[in-house]
Amino acid sequence: MTAQPDRPTARPSLAGPLAHPLARRWLLASCVPVLLVLGMALTVPPAPSAATAGTPGPADMAGMPGMAGTAGTAGDSPDLAAAGLTAERNGYRLDLAGPAPTPGRATDLRFTVAGPDGSPVTDFAVHQTKKLHFYAIRSDLTGFQHLHPDLAEDGTWTAAPDALAPGSWRLYADFVPNTGPHAAELVLSRTVTVPGEAAPVPLPAPGDTATADGYTVTLTARPAAGAHRLTAVVSRDGRPVRDLQPYLDAYAHLSAFHEGDLALAHLHPAGTVDGDHGGPELTFQALFPEPGNWRVFLQFRTAGQLHTAALTLRVD
């Protein structure tokens, strides 16, 4: 595990770079979170056999019906808040509403974002073509889902994820309150326990190649911790792919989650989008705030189909 309570001071602060207007702009232009997971080991605690939907998990005692966990060990550290590991930040709070997800069956997830006045926020700025980006991942870094929920007039969001396997999941909401040109992007998260017998999946070994739907993504530059470039090429049957279509204002979307603490990182694709001929090279500005193993999910679109390739990236 790579949780590091005492981080070296030389390690780039998340709060610093994210607070910078340019950095914020690239974050807004991206939708490429890397999730750092604190205190959530690969082992998924087995749920008590008596647990049923509606029974809060051990870490989920926030008073929400059936679900709604706290941010666990995230506490109020600015770094953890910036990495999306807290349920509250800058006066905004993520509240989950029940019922708890039913294991093995698709269950709509409802939630609100409470604003500084305590009432649900209904006005969100569009970033990366959406008002809110929602991610779900299990504590063993499996089951990644990236969704764009629907917003009701009363501020209730409804996400419709695929069925969630038993275990501890972290759910992230990534949004910008529509409070003006200087509004900061926020990533808030909570955990939810899906009852049942959890079967943790070992993290795949680090590598440079991922495949999805016949496509191969190969990393050509592996970033170190801090702000660096990550480059990749997309190929199919050994040939470079040049027909990537725009997806969320980019030719690819990267989400990365850190083994152990589930921190979320943002990676912004460099270059502009112009028609359905992206690729084969993809370049990202990568900010991996800490070393360790990161599970990277690269999403791209061809012929109207979205593909998701995943690999484990070792960041030194």
With respect to Cu ion, which residue has the nearer C-beta, 18 or 198?
18
Closest CB to Cu ion among 100 and 121?
121
Question: Residues in contact with Cu ion, total (CB under 5 A)?
Answer: 2
Q: Which is nearer to Cu ion, 3 or 250 (CB)?
A: 250
In the complex, what is the shortest distance from the CB of residue 273 to Cu ion, in angstroms, rounded to a whole number? 15
What is the smallest separation between the CB atom of 248 and Cu ion, expressed in angstroms?
6
Ranges of H-type helices in the chain: 15-19, 21-29, 78-82
Shortest distance, position 228 Cβ to Cu ion, whole Å: 23
Q: How far is the CB of 149 from Cu ion (least distance, A)?
A: 10
- Residue 133 as a binder of Cu ion (CB under 5 A): the answer is yes
Which range, of 56-64, 65-73, 129-137, 221-229, touches Cu ion by CB under 5 A?
A: 129-137
From the list 3, 23, 31, 309, which residue makes contact with Cu ion (rule: CB under 5 A)? Answer: 31
The nearer residue to Cu ion, 175 or 294, going by C-beta atoms, is: 175
Residue 186 Cβ, how far from Cu ion at the closest point, in Å? Answer: 14
Q: Is 307 in the site for Cu ion (CB under 5 A)?
A: no
Q: Which residues bind Cu ion (CB under 5 A)?
A: 31, 133
